[in-house]
Amino acid sequence: LFISRFHLEPAQDADVGSNTLRTYALNKNEYFVLHVKNDKDGTKVPEIVLQKALDREKQSIHHLILTGIDGGDPMRSGTAQITVKVLDANDNAPVFEQDLYEIKVVENSAPGKIIQMVKAIDLDDGVNSEIEYSLGSLTQEAIKQLFSIDSDTGELTISKSLDYEMSSTYKFDIRARDKGAPVMEGHCRVQVNVLDMNDNAPEIIITSSPKPVPEDAPAGTMVALINVKDLDSGVNGNVTLCLCCDQPGLIKIRTSGYFSATPFLRTLLHVSPQFQREMSTEWR
């Protein structure tokens, strides 16, 4: 909001006739021009008129010099300094320093841990530049349970520890609103990448229970089929199997394959060529 026309007090000149005040002049500037109005009684009233919108963010104070010139010879003049202070309007929205914040968090990190500091800048002044941070209005309830933001500082924290095996990435928006009227707001995107920790032990499932094996069973006969899985990823999910047997070498493990989507190892237990019933009736 701005006043586009300023009436000024006419200059005083004690002389009369052609020696009295004849005209005004304003220093040359980008924003203001001078209009001189003639009152009914012949008084010349100077008016400063705005010819271009002011922008406080570009220039908050304008210094003008108004000169009154008389018609005498020699010509005499007087000057007045005019200071125009531009009041702020809320015409800038907060803008985040980054459009996207990519954050890495190790799973099982303690609740309350600060995982990122976000910051938005607002070019306006006073309350028009004071910022309040919040999670975006469309943020899913599940994400609101896990992440929270300090409305004043922009500190993003985890409210609960994250589980890589449950979800390895989260995406949401953060909003910055100023306290101007009307309120203006800006957004940024957040992507949280959860890093895996080795927090799952391998699980062995016997899918085909050992059955009695005939003593003349050929070498390589399958004794049992087992599955092994480890919910972790990468090396944390790699499993090595070893067999503890009271007759080493008689029963061997053969691995049949990996399934990488969920770390999963299918394993076959086979009898070796030395298998003979006379040695023992049971192997553990």
- The binder of Ca ion chosen from 82, 236, 272, 283 (CB under 5 A): 236
DSSP annotation of 44 reads E
Least separation in angstroms between residue 223's CB and Ca ion is 27
Asked whether position 196 contacts Ca ion by CB under 5 A, the answer is yes
Stretch that binds Ca ion, among 31-39, 141-149, 160-168, 217-225 (CB under 5 A): 160-168
**Tokens found for residue 42:** 């012949």
* Per CB under 5 A, 70 contacts Ca ion: no
232 binds Ca ion (CB under 5 A): yes
Binds Ca ion by CB under 5 A, chosen from 46, 120, 122, 188: 122
**Order of all β-strands in the sheet with 32-38:** 5-7, 44-50, 32-38
Is residue 230 involved in binding Ca ion (CB under 5 A)?
yes
Q: How far apart are CA 281 and CA 121, in angstroms?
A: 79
Counting residues that bind Ca ion (by CB under 5 A) gives 20
> CA dihedral defined by 63, 65, 66, 72, rounded to 10 degrees?
180
- C-alpha distance across the termini of the chain, in Å: 89
Residue (of 241, 237, 240, 279) closest to 262 by Cα position = 237
d(CA 279, CA 276): 6
| 91 binds Ca ion, rule: CB under 5 A | yes
Which part of the chain contacts Ca ion (CB under 5 A), choosing from 184-192, 213-221, 244-252, 263-271? 184-192
Q: Which residues bind Ca ion (CB under 5 A)?
A: 88-92, 122, 124, 128, 164, 178, 180, 184, 196-200, 230, 232, 236
